[in-house]
Amino acid sequence: MKSLAKVISVFMIAVMAFGMIGCSKADRFDVKELQQHRGDLLVIVSQPQEAMPVEEYDKAVVRMSVTYDGCANNPNPFNNSKVKMPDDEYLRIYNFCVEAAADNRFAGYSEDICDGTTYTFTYYDTEGNAHVLYDGYCYDNKELQDIMKLITKYSLD
């Protein structure tokens, strides 16, 4: 009976050790390797949907982005600098993009609104292929709103 208890104990220790090794590798997800890719990861373009002169419309269209190097860019009339994001928030954006593209999450989503601002969320995979995740109004979609808030908090107004 004692030998069975020892075998079970050794087995449990081995399972825990392999689990910790596996988790530590998953936690490290090699952000640095992902950040070696160049170009945009996610681009969100906001476009006003109201009548206005072309000159005003061109100024009102905003292109926010997160690049593969881990930087957020929220251009404004005063500053067009990028801000480095913490790895956990960068990975949140990356995982959102990969998962939304994989399950076509927003394919049937729309909001019945006639004015305001529409948003186009475009994810660029590591090969540079564009995947439009969503295009339209997104006032009532918490997931899309949270991603925009996460990116806009890095604005240098």
The tens digit of pLDDT for each residue in 63-113 reads: 999 999 999 988 765 666 788 999 999 999 999 999 999 999 999 999 998
Instruction: Answer whether 155's CB lies under 8 Å from 76's CB.
Output: yes
Q: Above 70 in pLDDT, residue 58?
A: yes
Calculate mean pLDDT across residues 132-157. Answer: 91
Q: What's the pLDDT at 54?
A: 78
Instruction: Answer whether 44's CB lies under 8 Å from 148's CB.
Output: yes
- CA–CA separation, 65 vs 22, rounded Å? 32
50-56-110 Cα angle (round to 5): 35
Calculate mean pLDDT across residues 110-135. Answer: 94
In sequence order, what are the residues at sequence separation of 6 or more whose Cβ sits closer than 8 angstroms to the Cβ of residue 80?
73
Which parts of the chain are beta strand (E)? 40-48, 62-67, 71-73, 82-84, 117-124, 130-136
- CA–CA separation, 5 vs 131, rounded Å? 54
Q: What's the pLDDT at 25?
A: 42
Domain parsing of the chain, residue ranges? 2-30, 35-152
Predicted structure pTM score: 0.76
Q: What's the pLDDT at 49?
A: 86
Q: What's the pLDDT at 2?
A: 62
CA atoms within 13 A on the CB side of 53: 2
User: Considering only CA atoms, which of 61, 49, 66, 56 is closest in space to residue 137?
Assistant: 49
What's the token pair of residue 99? 């998962």
Calculate mean pLDDT across residues 127-152. Answer: 95
Question: Regarding predicted confidence, which is higher, 26 or 57?
Answer: 57
Mean pLDDT of the chain: 83
